[in-house]
Amino acid sequence: MADQDQTDTWGSKSWAYLSSLRQQSPLIQCITNLVSMDLMANTLLAAGASPAMIHSILEIPDFTPHTQAVLINVGTLTPEWLPAMKAAAGVANRLAKPWVLDPAAVGASGFRLKACLELIELKPTVIRGNGSEIICLSMASIGSTKGADSLHESSDAVEAAKSLAKSSGAIVAISGSVDFVTDGQRVVGAHNGLPMMQKITASGCSVTALIAAFVAVDPAHAFEATASAFSVFGLAGEIGMGLANGPASLRMHLIDSLHGLDRETVLRRVKITSFS
Amino acid sequence: MADQDQTDTWGSKSWAYLSSLRQQSPLIQCITNLVSMDLMANTLLAAGASPAMIHSILEIPDFTPHTQAVLINVGTLTPEWLPAMKAAAGVANRLAKPWVLDPAAVGASGFRLKACLELIELKPTVIRGNGSEIICLSMASIGSTKGADSLHESSDAVEAAKSLAKSSGAIVAISGSVDFVTDGQRVVGAHNGLPMMQKITASGCSVTALIAAFVAVDPAHAFEATASAFSVFGLAGEIGMGLANGPASLRMHLIDSLHGLDRETVLRRVKITSFS
Amino acid sequence: MADQDQTDTWGSKSWAYLSSLRQQSPLIQCITNLVSMDLMANTLLAAGASPAMIHSILEIPDFTPHTQAVLINVGTLTPEWLPAMKAAAGVANRLAKPWVLDPAAVGASGFRLKACLELIELKPTVIRGNGSEIICLSMASIGSTKGADSLHESSDAVEAAKSLAKSSGAIVAISGSVDFVTDGQRVVGAHNGLPMMQKITASGCSVTALIAAFVAVDPAHAFEATASAFSVFGLAGEIGMGLANGPASLRMHLIDSLHGLDRETVLRRVKITSFS
């Protein structure tokens, strides 16, 4: 199914996004879970973006209009945080800014599922989850997702993702051994990355933030930007793994590698292929 | 006082727990302080467990029944978080799941001491603190504990721990230059670890989470599981120190080492001894 | 403008502060943003201080009197946190303890600016921000600061800092390629550090905490303590950079270096100069 010419195109595309990101340094507002804030902010900084972890509803009207994209992650959701998430998504919509939803552990409770469905009503540009989360959302019923981890292979979730993309109008992105991206019609797989990245807490949350940053520099092509962000993050992990002895050193080297990624490496090693 | 045959037994026991943990990947719900979330989740992932930082009271009824153990840490307690802690402990009790209490900086205020005493009413399986915290709890009066650090050597706190174990019915575990574990009668000391681990924020919190994961795979033997978790974590620190130049690199190498620990190393280097 | 004799004096001074900090291990209460807690606590531990991230208003009356300094950072401010910040600043004032304000991203919203102005009414000993934040505060109007990052060179903000120092009575400290410190009359520049430190999230927050720790050991000379903290942190970054490959490894080596800094290195490499 791989198409080598496509692959070359995707390498160029990915590099174009990353270099634009470094030049433009878009301001990305993150309303995210308490576990992920540190790694997410460092991921965005290493990629060239300007992160802002601002979550008070009182600040949305003043601050959100100045951002280039909004990231919302429900990983440690409480009722107090939900109104600010909705307000920020609302501002993003009104001002035609992209916003990205990470339905982290959406199957954990009825409360969380309901919150995610309400957020999806606010038209996210991209939804990024693991297989279980995307299936759960697509089924719109409480699944038995096991914590924040994925029980389903990402490929199993592709049909669910297409269905969710059609019903929501969002690009839907699934993390897994291969990462999939669909707009409901097209499906691409991003093959970079490695299994040990799942042993780093908040690595999934951080790639969603990176997606927001990539989409911020080209909101009209969120499908391409999302696939490129997946591969760039995975590629940074692959390079980092060359120096790592375990998950903690991988985490460090991944961020270093993301910061240092050069054109030649991106062109040569990004691997994204089309699926029919 | 050391008993070399016992030591050999403890090595086997510790390895049995660690390998079970890697196979079963128990789901550990952590309601913990804001400082510790990142290191705690990474510690659990590196050890093979599946962490879930979920603290909204609205999610307890749906989520907590699916967990294998609950960890509660009061390090950044506010009144808003306490009801969820009690609810999760209550579910754990009702469903006969183990739960572990970390009374972090319990001496910081009357509010915090009262909260910990209320939590102890809910029958934790294990209580893990430093010497000051265990003495403070045992005295049930506001001590002069200095922040989250320990002013007392762990050995000084052993009598207090035995008393607290008897009154509460919990296994009581004290971190220090030697870590002690008691059920009110038996006392063992875990000798692995090194002083620089105290220079890593949340290392104490993280070992409590690791105790929860070890207890999750053998709830009937919480005493043995607790001592084993102490030694495995300390041993990961010892191995990590071989590569470290200071507290931050120790933190990284500790997590890498925990992830990579093999049978031979655990059998050879775990050192737990009985005290009368 | 540099004055080599002064430089030598500053090296001695900086070493005196750092060695006092290691001996006295002052208890520093940090009411800070959710992103910075981990790195801030590790920075304080590596420097020899005893950090306590305690932010519940219920604990201020019991706990804050036992501290040697208080750090308040508004980076993820919500209305729920503000009363505890004010209460802690109030206790610090009443008991003549130093307290340090980090007006992180003060220009993000009217809410945040108002909160910072109210906190400044409570007489912080030191205010530490980047150029944009200090200018924004000094103008006391909503600036267009771009997230938490600085749009202004720190040197541009010196006049604003002098003005803010005079009106508030605080030492005002500006992070940048050169860090400036002023009491409204005197101005010194701390030249240690390197640009990549801005790619580490919470590095600015952490140097503010280090300032609080330095001031804690010599509250009568907050101007000197602040400049010394800037240079010691920057110097740790410089040494760390010798081993680093990017922002994440720099972060690790910086903390290791801060922990290991010796007298000779501090005397030789601290560079602080007077500006008229």
Give the pLDDT score at B156: 74
Q: How confident is the model at residue C275 (pLDDT cuts 50, 70, 90)?
A: confident
Query: Which of helix, strand or coil describes residue B199?
Result: helix
pLDDT (average), residues B207-212: 98
Which residue segments constitute the domains of chain A, with CATH numbers given? 4-275 (3.40.1190.20)
**Chain B contact set for A105 (CB, 8 A):** 52, 54
pLDDT, residue B276, reads 64
Q: Report pLDDT for A191.
A: 98
* pLDDT > 60? residue B76: yes
ipTM (interface predicted TM) = 0.93
pLDDT band at C211 (very low <50, low <70, confident <90, very high): very high
Q: Given a cut of 60, is residue B59 above it in pLDDT? A: yes
Within its chain, how far is the Cα of C111 from the centroid? Answer: 22
A61-89 pLDDT, tens digit per residue, is 999 999 999 999 999 999 999 999 999 99
So what's the pLDDT on residue A121?
Answer: 95
Q: What is the predicted pLDDT for the residue at C105?
A: 97
- Residue C49 CA to chain centroid, in angstroms? 14
Which SS3 state, helix, strand or coil, does residue A246 take? coil
pLDDT of residue A148: 43
> Neighbours of A (≥3 Cβ pairs closer than 8 A)?
B, C
Chain A residue with minimum CA distance to B41: A201
Nearest Cβ partner for A252 among C110, C202, C249: C249
User: Nearest CB to B54: which of A108, A201, A252?
Assistant: A108
Scanning A190-249 for CB atoms below 8 A from B yields: 199-202, 244-249
Range B225-246 average pLDDT:
98
Question: For residue C153, what pLDDT is reported?
Answer: 60
Strand pairing partners for C128?
C173
| Measured distance CA(A222)–CA(A96) in Å, rounded | 13
The pLDDT of residue C189: 97
DSSP conformational letter for A115: H
**pLDDT of B11:** 97
Tell me which residue in C77, C147, C149 faces A56 most closely, judged by beta carbons.
C77
| pLDDT for C41 beyond 80 | yes
CB A59 within 8 A of CB A83: no
Residue B276 buriedness (CB in 10 A; 0-12 / 13-18 / 19+):
exposed
Average pLDDT over residues B15-28: 98
- For C126, phi then psi, to 5°, come to -140, 145
CB C47 within 8 A of CB C14: no
Which candidate from A78, A110, A199 shows the least CB-CB separation from B46? A199
Distance CA C214, CA C222 (A): 8
Task: Give the pLDDT of residue C156.
Answer: 74
What pLDDT band is residue B19 in, cutting at 50, 70 and 90?
Answer: very high
Q: Tell me which chain C residues have a C-beta less than 8 angstroms from the C-beta of A53.
A: 33-35, 75-76
- Chain A residues whose beta carbon lies within 8 Å of the beta carbon of residue C109: 54, 56, 58-59, 61-63
Which range among B155-169, C69-83, C133-147 shows the weakest confidence by mean pLDDT? C133-147
The strand ranges marked E within chain A are 27-31, 50-52, 69-73, 99-102, 126-130, 171-175, 179-182, 187-190, 272-275
- Tell me whether residues A46 and C246 touch, CB distance under 8 A: yes
Averaged pLDDT, B198-204: 97
Residue B245, phi then psi, degrees to nearest 5: -115, 5
A245, A252, A254, best to mutate vs chain B, most B CBs in 10 Å: A245
Query: Minimal CA–CA distance to C44: which of B128, B132, B248?
Result: B248
Average pLDDT score over residue span C105-127: 96
| B179: three-class secondary structure by DSSP | strand
A139 secondary structure, DSSP code: H
pLDDT > 90 in chain C, percent: 90
The CA dihedral of A131, A134, A139, A140, to the nearest 10 degrees, is 140
B1: pLDDT confidence band, cut at 50, 70 and 90? very low
* Closest Cβ opposite residue A256 in set C75, C105, C246: C246
Whether the pLDDT of residue C5 is over 70: the answer is: no
Question: Is the separation of the CB atoms in C78 and A56 below 8 Å?
Answer: yes
User: Which residue out of C30, C42, C257 would a mutagenesis test of the B interface target, given it has the greatest number of B Cβ atoms within 10 Å?
Assistant: C42
Mutate to test the interface with A, among C151, C201, C251 (most CBs of A within 10 A): C201
Burial of C153 (0-12, 13-18, 19+ CB in 10 A): middle
b/e map of A222-253 (b: 16 or more CB within 10 Å)?
bbbbbbbbbbbbbbbbbbbbeebbbbbbbbbb
Among chain B residues, CA nearest to A36: B38
Instruction: Tell me how far apart the alpha carbons of residues C7 and C228 are, in angstroms, rounded to a whole number.
Output: 11
Spans in chain A with pLDDT lower than 50: 1-5, 141-149
Q: Is C59 in Cβ contact with B76 (below 8 Å)?
A: no
Strand order in the sheet with A69-73: A50-52, A27-31, A69-73, A99-102, A126-130, A171-175, A179-182, A187-190, A272-275
Q: Return the structure tokens found at C260.
A: 């290991």
pLDDT of A21: 98
pLDDT greater than 50 at residue C267:
yes
For residue A137 the two structure tokens come to: 């959302």
Q: Does B54 touch chain A (CB under 8 A)?
A: yes
Confidence of residue C143 (pLDDT cuts 50, 70, 90): very low
Distant-in-sequence, close-in-space partners of C254: CB < 8 Å, separation ≥ 6:
B248, C197, C200, C203, C233, C236, C237, C239, C240
**pLDDT at B153 (0 to 100):** 60
Residue B2, pLDDT > 60, answer no
- Helices marked H in chain C: 4-24, 37-47, 60-63, 82-94, 110-121, 131-139, 158-168, 203-217, 222-241, 247-260, 263-269
If we measure between CA atoms, which residue out of C62, C71, C67 comes closest to residue C43? C71
A105 Ramachandran zone, left/alpha/beta (phi>0; psi -120 to 50): left
- Residue B205's H or E segment, with its range, is helix B203-217
Quick one: average pLDDT of B117-128?
Answer: 97
Q: How far is CA A205 from CA A32, A211, A274, B16, C27, in A?
A: 8, 10, 25, 33, 34
> Best residue in B34, B38, B71, B239 to probe A by mutation, most A CBs within 10 Å?
B38
Residues 109-128 of A with CB under 8 A from B: 109-112
Residues 34-53 of B with CB under 8 A from C: 34-35, 38-39
CA distance A104 to chain C (A): 19
